[in-house]
Amino acid sequence: MPASGWSQDATGTLEISMFVESAVTGVTVTTLPSGADVEPITLDVDIFRPTRPQTGNMLGRARVVNASQFFVFAEVEIEDPQGRQVARGAGHLEIRRVEPPPPPPPTDLRPLVEAVYTTPDPYLRALTGGLVPDEVWAQRDGSSLMRMFADGTFLAPCTELLGISLVKVEEGRTVVTAPASEWLCSLSSSVAPGQISSLATTALWYAGLTMQKEGESVIGLKQTTRFYRALPADGRTMRAEARAVRHGPTLVLVEANVYSADGEPIAWSHATGMTVARSRRRKRPAPEAKRVLATLLFTDIVGSTEHAERLGDMRWRELLEQYRETVRSEIARCEGIEIDTAGDGFFVRFDSPGRAIECARAMRAGVKRFGVLVRVGIHTGECEFQSGKFAGMAVHIAARAQEVASPGEILVSGTVRDLAVGSGARFDERGQLALKGIPGEWRLFSVAD
């Protein structure tokens, strides 16, 4: 997940409930047989350090700890763009049969044509609204600050992005609302559990912040959410009501209930926080990002899910190991640098387009003997480089080029084609294509055999 300013809550730190739930649910789904689905029961988030917006992506490393015929338990470790572990999440999910049973898949599975918009993806847009300046935090208590969020004086980007409104503030109590919009769905037509947890999180910590005295900060430590039922994305208003209690000099306990538009309980959440003197908190300066020119390559296996189902778990793991060994061998031979890998996908940096094309062609030929095809996207451009991570529009263009490539195709941008003159590579024009989340149309070329 991009460590974007759009994920900031009222305190300026990133709200990660949605990210944690997506990782936990996503890894759980990989264990399911045909005709099955999962319903979340609990979601736990332990926070180790606050994370602020910065260049690069948050990374979630999720794994299934235990799976039975009834339940799955999974956990995820969350790292910031600097590679520091900032949180840990875990979830219990119930396995259920889909009723009525889904029909068999069609014999001709056509790729989904995704919508193309004239504006960039929301996290790439300029931030609107305004957070509380540090000097204001130091001079006011939490209740008065939360009232300023309620009257619109300040606005957390995360709440604007998700349509969350703070409608009531009292000391120790807040009420927030949000539309049960289809934009908040992920794997079904119901509002994603992570979005429900995010609504509860907002209510919880807004209520907790009302207990904050002048010169203090409330720091979240742990949150647990229990889900009662799915919430249809019918566009009506869901509501979270939270109450906070302060115990002793530093302990803050908060709980919240989430309701549907009809008043049905949807979820319950509980959180633990501590107050600390604001003067003791220090913001670590993030390493300065550098602009570098690089050739970026993305690749993955075509139809990996179908291969896994056909081969079975053991044979698929063996094939993946052979595939990764072959790809990494070609990366090393062509002097590339592996930036990231996830499943069967690779993100690689090269110093020249010619090297990237040579590597892509060798990869494509090398993995054919395993009975698999890859799709590859390559682009050259300036990137932001920080703490070993690459970010920026050039990264998105290379990734989107790989997504629109046909099975077995190496698709490159016009920049790569122009810079590769003299390399011996030949290209076939694919025309002007729209790339998801990137303004305008891009001239792309396929590397000829």
According to the per-residue pLDDT averaged within each range, which of 24-33, 93-102, 261-270, 292-301 is highest?
261-270
The answer to whether residue 14 sits within a structural domain is yes
Is it the case that residue 286 has pLDDT exceeding 60?
no
CA distance linking residue 68 with residue 234, whole number of Å: 33
Is it the case that residue 86 has pLDDT exceeding 80?
yes
- If one counts the domains in the chain, the total is 2
Residue ranges making up the domain that contains 170: 5-101+109-280
Q: What is the model's pLDDT at position 344?
A: 81
Is it the case that residue 8 has pLDDT exceeding 70?
yes
Q: Mean pLDDT over residues 268-287, rounded?
A: 79
pLDDT > 90 in the chain, percent: 49
Q: Same domain for 149 and 35?
A: yes
The residue among 278 and 191 whose pLDDT is bigger is: 191
Of 255, 280, 305, the domain-final residue? 280
Contacts 24+ apart (CB under 8 A), 251-260: 252/208, 252/211, 252/218, 254/204, 254/205, 254/207, 254/208, 255/204, 256/200, 256/203, 256/204, 256/207, 258/196, 258/199, 258/200, 258/203, 260/180, 260/231, 260/236
Is it the case that residue 125 has pLDDT exceeding 90?
no
Is it the case that residue 293 has pLDDT exceeding 80?
yes
Q: The domain spanning residue 238 has which CATH number?
A: 2.40.160.210
Residue at 160: amino acid letter = E
Of 250, 280, 310, the domain-final residue? 280
Q: What is the model's pLDDT at position 130?
A: 77
The residue among 240 and 372 whose pLDDT is bigger is: 240
Q: Is the dihedral of CA 326, 327, 330, 335 positive or negative?
A: negative
Per-residue confidence band for 188, with pLDDT thresholds at 50, 70 and 90: confident
Q: Same domain for 188 and 299?
A: no
The answer to whether residue 184 sits within a structural domain is yes
Of 227, 247, 280, the domain-final residue? 280
The mean pLDDT of the chain is: 88
CA distance linking residue 434 with residue 444, whole number of Å: 10
Q: Same domain for 390 and 423?
A: yes
Structure tokens at 415: 């920049």
What are the tens digits of pLDDT across the range 394-444?
888 899 999 888 999 999 999 999 998 877 888 998 888 878 777 778 889
Q: What is the model's pLDDT at position 260?
A: 97
The answer to whether residue 285 sits within a structural domain is no
The answer to whether residue 158 sits within a structural domain is yes
The answer to whether residue 256 sits within a structural domain is yes
Q: Same domain for 417 and 441?
A: yes
Q: What is the model's pLDDT at position 295?
A: 93
The answer to whether residue 233 sits within a structural domain is yes
Q: The domain spanning residue 384 has which CATH number?
A: 3.30.70.1230
Q: What is the model's pLDDT at position 424?
A: 82
Say if residues 258 and 269 touch (Cβ distance below 8 Å): yes
Q: Mean pLDDT over residues 314-324, rounded?
A: 86
Q: What is the model's pLDDT at position 303?
A: 86
DSSP string, 331-346: HHHTT-EEEEEETTEE
Is it the case that residue 109 has pLDDT exceeding 70?
yes
Q: Same domain for 82 and 189?
A: yes
Per-residue confidence band for 449, with pLDDT thresholds at 50, 70 and 90: confident
Q: Same domain for 169 and 228?
A: yes
Q: Same domain for 262 and 338?
A: no
The residue among 78 and 55 whose pLDDT is bigger is: 78
Q: Same domain for 221 and 191?
A: yes
Q: Residue written as tokens 């918009």?
A: 117
Q: Same domain for 439 and 392?
A: yes
Q: What is the model's pLDDT at position 64?
A: 94
Q: Residue written as tokens 């959410």?
A: 225
Q: What is the model's pLDDT at position 268?
A: 97
Q: Same domain for 321 and 226?
A: no
The residue among 108 and 363 whose pLDDT is bigger is: 363
Per-residue buried b or exposed e for 308-341, using 16+ beta carbons within 10 Å of the residue's own CB:
beeeeeeebeebbeebeebbbebbeebebeebee
CA distance linking residue 171 with residue 208, whole number of Å: 9
Q: What is the model's pLDDT at position 193?
A: 95
The answer to whether residue 93 sits within a structural domain is yes
Q: Same domain for 42 and 65?
A: yes
Is it the case that residue 128 has pLDDT exceeding 70?
yes
Q: Same domain for 218 and 79?
A: yes
